[in-house]
Structures are given as structure tokens and as C-alpha cells.
């Protein structure tokens, strides 16, 4: 069986990556890709990696056409735009996998605090399921609207959710220091993304108040039985095109001792049946901790840790590809769950090494 799928705003990096993945999915007939500025142009004119491999042409977005051609749409527009498009897609009876931030947060006041505007369709927030497959599998199965998690938020959540779920760490002083590649800010450019500014730099761009803080806190608080988890999140742009490495500093209770074996047990409990979460346990060699180099182009999130007994600290690292496990790959994994396909369908490939 094949399902009909469309990608709205396939011209952008997140939509473009969704097109690449969906084009090779054995159960997907990708038959509708849209753009405002590239109508009638072939996809491969802007994504030449699919030269000779794709005959898809960009079309103008029209909800009636989407309804005729598709069962599912991936929505890869900027936030605020998504908010205006989702209601008509829902009314058309389509299932929507939204890559934007618009339907991730359940609480409208938190949305306003971080996005500085009122949400225009708060009544839909209830319908949306947060798109982290490993945490919301059951709800994803029957959802009409998936709000795929933010890329940097995903990396923090994957690193931390076993420790929170097992009650192993303090929950009021979690620090996440995230480094991200330039594709994380999309295909459009500005002064800050200009090569002489962006290159050869570790650019601190959002030390406090980063929007992904809200998603991380929302998800970890749920896992903490509703008791508020506090996260300090800081983000840096680094000299990579793709990839994220989040370094999380968390603390365990002064009265406890924690040994490596306790943490291995906790991570194994949650990761053992997860096809895309890899715990790095290697004790020697140069890749003893997660490194974006190894997961670029894949749907894997690699997680590792070290214990700093000197100050009751655990340093947890998570590396993932912002455009795959941080966006389009998780979206395809959700699509698989919604259709009862094996979760790895269309995503089952390793990275390239050396890169």
C-alpha cells in the first residue's frame, strides 16, 4: 500500500529534506510539492543532489489541490505562517505533520512569552501531538496534527528524558549548552549568516530566553509528574552546515552517589527498543562521546555522559542532525507510526564516515 503525501514549502531546507526522505520511502507516493517563488521549476534545480533522481515540480499551494492529491501533508513553513494554514488543512480532512513551532506548546501564555505574539488558533493546540516519537507514540498513532519537536529541543530531550523519568537528577537547575550548524536557521540569509561573519566562529546567539527552552521544560515537566522542571538553555552557532551537539549539565542529590552503572541501566531501559537512540558506551578510541560527525545524514540521536563526582554533576551529550532527527526524519518516523508502518521505513541508513 502507498499513501499520498505532499510537502508544503518544499523549497526550504526542512521541506527539501522531507522531499529527499519521502522520495525513497517504499510506502509513500510523494505527488505534491509547493513553493511560492519556484512554481513550475523542478525540485532538482534547487536541490541538485536529486538531479536525475526526481521529476517533481513545484506547484502553487492550494488547499483543494492538496485535498485531491494527498492524504498527508508535511508543512514546512515558518512559524506564524503555519498557524494560518493549519485550520484549512484540518477542515480539508488532511493529516498534517507540521515542522514549525506553532503547535508545539500547550500553554498559550507560554507561547506568548516566547513568541511575543498571541496564538491565533489556541483551540487547535489541544489536537496537536508533540512530535517526539519515543515519548508520544500512542497519541501519534491517531493524531490529525503532529507538531514536530524543535531541533535543539529534541537534542536536549533525548539526552535528559531517561534521567528525569527515573528521578535521578535535580529538576530545578538543568543547564543545556547547545551548538548548532548554519542550516538550522533555514535557507534565507541575513547579515548574521553572511559567510565572513558566520565562518570560523563560535557565535553565541541566544544565551537566555531561547524559544526551545519552553518545549524542553514542557516535555520534561510532563515526565516529572507535572512538577515544574527548570532549564537554562543557551545556543551557539558553530562552523558546521548541519548537526547539533547539546551539552547538558545536570546535578544529582548531594546525599546520593551515582555510578556509571546506574546511568547505563537508566538509559538502556529507555533506549533498548528505540531504533534511532544510541547510547555511546565505548570506553576507548576517539569517539567515546557523541559527535555530530557520526550522525550527519541519519535519523540517529547519539547520547553519552560522564560523571563529575567532584560536584555531583552529570554531563550528558546528545548529537543529532537538525534536518533529520531534529526535523524531517522525526516527521517521517511519525508518519510511519500514524500508518502502522515499521518505524524505520525510509530512515534505515547509516551516516557516511569519514565526513
Ligand X SMILES: NC(=O)c1ccc[n+]([C@@H]2O[C@H](COP(=O)([O-])OP(=O)(O)OC[C@H]3O[C@@H](n4cnc5c(N)ncnc54)[C@H](OP(=O)(O)O)[C@@H]3O)[C@@H](O)[C@H]2O)c1
Residues marked active site are found at: 151
CB-nearer residue toward ligand X: 77 or 301: 77
CB-nearer residue toward ligand X: 113 or 230: 113
CB-nearer residue toward ligand X: 102 or 177: 102
**Residue 77 engages ligand X in binding (rule: CB under 6 A):** yes
Contact call for residues 40 and 103 (beta carbons, < 8 A): no
Contact call for residues 232 and 208 (beta carbons, < 8 A): yes
Binding mask 262-291 for ligand X (x = CB under 6 A): ------------------------------
User: Rg of the chain over CA atoms, in angstroms?
Assistant: 20
Sole binder of ligand X in the list 323, 324, 331, 347 (CB under 6 A): 323
Exposure letters 276-296 (e unless 16+ CB within 10 A, then b)? bbbbbeeeeeeeebbbbbbbb
Omega before residue 354 within 30° of 0, cis: yes
CB-nearer residue toward ligand X: 34 or 171: 34
Closest CA to 151 of 101, 208, 83: 101
Distance in Å, CB of 290 to ligand X, minimum: 18
Exposure letters 206-245 (e unless 16+ CB within 10 A, then b)? beeebbbbbbbbbbbbbbeeeeebebebbbbbbebebbbb
Q: What is the rounded distance in angstroms from the CA atom of residue 60 to the CA atom of residue 249?
A: 46
Instruction: Name which of residues 161 to 200 contact ligand X (CB under 6 A).
Output: 183-184, 186-188
**Residue 153 engages ligand X in binding (rule: CB under 6 A):** no
**Residue 234 engages ligand X in binding (rule: CB under 6 A):** no
**Residue 237 engages ligand X in binding (rule: CB under 6 A):** no
Q: How many positions of this chain bind ligand X (CB under 6 A)?
A: 29
Q: Would you tell me which residues interact with ligand X (CB under 6 A)?
A: 9, 11-15, 35-38, 76-79, 81, 99-101, 150-151, 183-184, 186-188, 322-323, 326-327
Amino acid at each position: 500500500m502507498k499513501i499520498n503525501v505532499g510537502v508544503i514549502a518544499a523549497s526550504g531546507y526542512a521541506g527539501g529534506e522531507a522531499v529527499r526522505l519521502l522520495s525513497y520511502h517504499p510506502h509513500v507516493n510523494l505527488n505534491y510539492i509547493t513553493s511560492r517563488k519556484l512554481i513550475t521549476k523542478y525540485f532538482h534545480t534547487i536541490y541538485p543532489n536529486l538531479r536525475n533522481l526526481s521529476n517533481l515540480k513545484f506547484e502553487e499551494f492550494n488547499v483543494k489541490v492538496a485535498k485531491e492529491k494527498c492524504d498527508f501533508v508535511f508543512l514546512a513553513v515558518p512559524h506564524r505562517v503555519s498557524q494560518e494554514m493549519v485550520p484549512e488543512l484540518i477542515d480539508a480532512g488532511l493529516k498534517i505533520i507540521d515542522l514549525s513551532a506553532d503547535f508545539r506548546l500547550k500553554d498559550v501564555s507560554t507561547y506568548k512569552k516566547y513568541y511575543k505574539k498571541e496564538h491565533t488558533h489556541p483551540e487547535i493546540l489541544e489536537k496537536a501531538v508533540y512530535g517526539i516519537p519515543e515519548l508520544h507514540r500512542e497519541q501519534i498513532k491517531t493524531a490529525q496534527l503532529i507538531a514536530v519537536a524543535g531541533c535543539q529541543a529534541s537534542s536536549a530531550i533525548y539526552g535528559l528524558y531517561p534521567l528525569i523519568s527515573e528521578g535521578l537528577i535535580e529538576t530545578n537547575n538543568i543547564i543545556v549548552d547547545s551548538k548548532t550548524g548554519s542550516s538550522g536557521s533555514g535557507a534565507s540569509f541575513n547579515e548574521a549568516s553572511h559567510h565572513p561573519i558566520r565562518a570560523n566562529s563560535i557565535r553565541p546567539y541566544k544565551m537566555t530566553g531561547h524559544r526551545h527552552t519552553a518545549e524542553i521544560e514542557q516535555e520534561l515537566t510532563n515526565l516529572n509528574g507535572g512538577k515544574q522542571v527548570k532549564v537554562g538553555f543557551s545556543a551557539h552557532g558553530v562552523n558546521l552546515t548541519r548537526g547539533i551537539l547539546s551539552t547538558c549539565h545536570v546535578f544529582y542529590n548531594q546525599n546520593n552517589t551515582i555510578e556509571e552503572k546506574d546511568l547505563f541501566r537508566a538509559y538502556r531501559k529507555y533506549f533498548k527498543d528505540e531504533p534511532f537512540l544510541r547510547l555511546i558506551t565505548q570506553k576507548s578510541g576517539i569517539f567515546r562521546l557523541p559527535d555530530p560527525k557520526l550522525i550527519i545524514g541519519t535519523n540517529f540521536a547519539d547520547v553519552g555522559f560522564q560523571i563529575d563526582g567532584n560536584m555531583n554533576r552529570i554531563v550528558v551529550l546528545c548529537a543529532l542532525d537538525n534536518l533529520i532527527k531534529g526535523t524531517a526524519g522525526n516527521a517521517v518516523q511519525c508518519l510511519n507510526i500514524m500508518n502502522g508502518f515499521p518505524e524505520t521505513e525510509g530512515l534505515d541508513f547509516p551516516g557516511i564516515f569519514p565526513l
